[in-house]
Amino acid sequence: MNFFISVIGALLGILLAIGIVVFIIYCKLRSMVGPTNMKILKNAISNIKDLEREEYSREKNVKGMTKLLEEEILRDFPDFNTELIFSMCETNLRKILNAIEAQDDSKIKNDSNFIYLKKKISEQIEDMKSNQITEKYDNVEFYRHAISAYTKKNGRATIQISSTLSYYYSTNRKDKKAFSDIKKQTRYTSEFVYVYDETKFYEKQVSFSVHCPNCGAPLRKLNSNFCEYCSTYIEKINLKIWKMSSYKEDYK
């Protein structure tokens, strides 16, 4: 009992000492800059916080040249539908945000639209669980989409899409700003891939690949019905469809 009281006393003594040091520093700073300048300093700090909140809630602009790039895409893919790809982008982002908030990747794992992203999302969710990180996205609203880039090489075509949206965001992460009383206005950049030549694509791919749903190993032979590492049965993957290959938030 005496030991417990001693520990409590020591902790209170440390907190008191810290409080005294902070008070002394404040007094010295006040005496150095003067009461008037101290008030100006406080106002400046307050203005910075107000500016952060204002930027947080400011509606963001999409980045893109949809009409110009759409013509180029249609020359290569006459059946391409811009509104459909925008709808797919919105639907996928909603599913990703829901999975992250619920920390449940079961629906992502069973969705063929996420063949390139299943592993990344699952790893993110596992990391959040192990570090007791939470994120909430309430009242998600999308505003505009635009095609911001288009490339076609090495057996694959890639479209980059810029999307503006808003939501009430809250988290216990230290590396992200969150004002739970303000609706955050933000922008996401997503990429969609269409593999028109599987041979060239899988010879040259570097940044991502399709993975086995069981063991997570990269699938190099798409014409095989079984994973070469764990022998799990693999349903044939149709890559001649636009599929999301990456996404990122442009404003943290």
Q: Would you kindly state where each structural domain of the chain is located, as residue ranges? A: 1-57, 61-249
Confidence band for 50, pLDDT divided at 50, 70 and 90: confident
Question: Could you give the CA distance from residue 77 to residue 196 in angstroms, rounded to a whole number?
Answer: 10
Average pLDDT, the chain: 82
Most confident of 49-53, 174-178, 217-221, 231-235: 174-178
Confidence band for 32, pLDDT divided at 50, 70 and 90: low
Question: Could you give the CA distance from residue 234 to residue 251 in angstroms, rounded to a whole number?
Answer: 38
| Mean pLDDT lowest among 31-35, 60-64, 161-165 | 31-35
Looking at residue 35, the DSSP 8-state letter turns out to be H
Q: Which CATH number fits domain 61-249: 2.40.128, 1.10.1220, 3.10.450, 1.20.120?
A: 3.10.450
pLDDT in tens, 176-206: 888 988 999 999 999 999 988 877 655 545 4
pLDDT in tens, 16-28: 777 676 667 666 6
User: Could you tell me the pTM of the whole model?
Assistant: 0.72
pLDDT in tens, 103-148: 999 999 888 899 889 889 999 999 999 999 999 999 999 999 999 9
Residue in 193, 196, 242, 195 with CA at minimum distance from that of residue 88: 242
- The SS3 of residue 157 is strand
Contact call for residues 193 and 242 (beta carbons, < 8 A): yes
207 pLDDT more than 60? no
